[in-house]
A and B are shown apart, each in its own frame.
Chain A
Amino acid sequence: EAEVAQSPRYKITEKSQAVAFWCDPISGHATLYWYRQILGQGPELLVQFQDESVVDDSQLPKDRFSAERLKGVDSTLKIQPAELGDSAMYLCASSLDQGPNNEQFFGPGTRLTVL
């Protein structure tokens, strides 16, 4: 069964360091999402890609966060420098296309702890 892959599963870093997360969506899925889930909260969208183009990054803290999907397949989310408040689960999801008719499939997430 096709799945969304994410790595690493866990990351511990010190504040002011740089971190990067990787996501490989289900093959053929054009739409890719990065969410942040703070403990005790629901996921919040950080950025949405359609193929290699950014569709929505209105909630991405662009002073420290960046995301790319250069070839329209896998994607990387980077934080530089990391802050204590960035500790959270970072979830990647993919769907065949945009819109509510297309189910989003979630990866297992990367749990980030900033010390």
Chain B
Amino acid sequence: AQSVTQLDSQVPVFEEAPVELRCNYSSSVSVYLFWYVQYPNQGLQLLLKYLSGSTLVESINGFEAEFNKSQTSFHLRKPSVHISDTAEYFCAVTLSGNTPLVFGKGTRLSVIA
């Protein structure tokens, strides 16, 4: 079965600094990978996803993630964070077909002014 490890439970970072949120997965077959964001007292929103093709995927608000098959990673990065990026970020994986999403435990990003 697939699993997801988010290595950092909390990441504090100053405003306008770069950030990387780490995600590693384990699976013996091809996977689809996702990053979701959860703001306080809200549901999850899809940030970006890797299904196939280019290994670098981008979101509309400046985040990007790179699928690295050899390192089984899908780290999320942003070159310059804003206060509004403060939220919980979840990495998730699913296999091809109709298998459920498996989420990591989440990383709480706190942007400090």
Query: Is B truly associated with A?
Result: yes
Which applies to chain B's interface (DSSP): helix, strand, loop or mixed? Answer: loop
B101 CB contact (under 8 Å) in A4, A104, A107: A104
Query: Is B103 touching A44 in the complex (CB atoms < 8 A)?
Result: yes
Query: Is B100 touching A100 in the complex (CB atoms < 8 A)?
Result: no
Within 8 A of B (CB), among A70-105: 91, 93, 98-101, 103-104
Which applies to chain A's interface (DSSP): helix, strand, loop or mixed? Answer: loop
* Nearest CB in chain A: distance from B37 CB, A: 11
Give the docked Cα–Cα distance between A104 and B4 (Å). 18
Query: Which residues of the other chain, B, contact A4 by a CB distance below 8 angstroms?
Result: 43
Stretch in A13-21, A35-43, A61-69 with 4+ CB within 8 Å of B:
A35-43
- Report if A43-B41 is in contact (Cβ < 8 Å); known contacts: A48-B100, A99-B98, A100-B94: no
Number of residues from A at the complex interface, CB < 8 A:
23
Question: Cβ of A109 < 8 Å from any Cβ of B?
Answer: yes
Identify which of B9, B41, B51, B96 gathers the most chain A CB atoms within 10 Å of its CB.
B41
Number of residues from B at the complex interface, CB < 8 A:
23
Query: Which residues of the other chain, A, contact B103 by a CB distance below 8 angstroms?
Result: 42-44
Identify which of A4, A44, A98, A100 gathers the most chain B CB atoms within 10 Å of its CB.
A100
B43 CB contact (under 8 Å) in A55, A56, A108: A108
Q: Which residues of A contact B (CB under 8 A)?
A: 4, 33, 40-45, 48, 55-56, 91, 93, 98-101, 103-104, 106-109
Q: Which residues of B contact A (CB under 8 A)?
A: 4, 9, 32, 41-46, 49, 51, 90, 92, 94, 96-98, 100-101, 103-106
**Apart from A4-B43, A42-B104, A43-B44: 16 A-B pairs, beta carbons within 8 A:** A40-B105, A42-B4, A42-B105, A42-B106, A44-B103, A45-B101, A56-B100, A93-B44, A100-B49, A100-B94, A103-B46, A103-B49, A104-B46, A108-B41, A108-B43, A109-B43
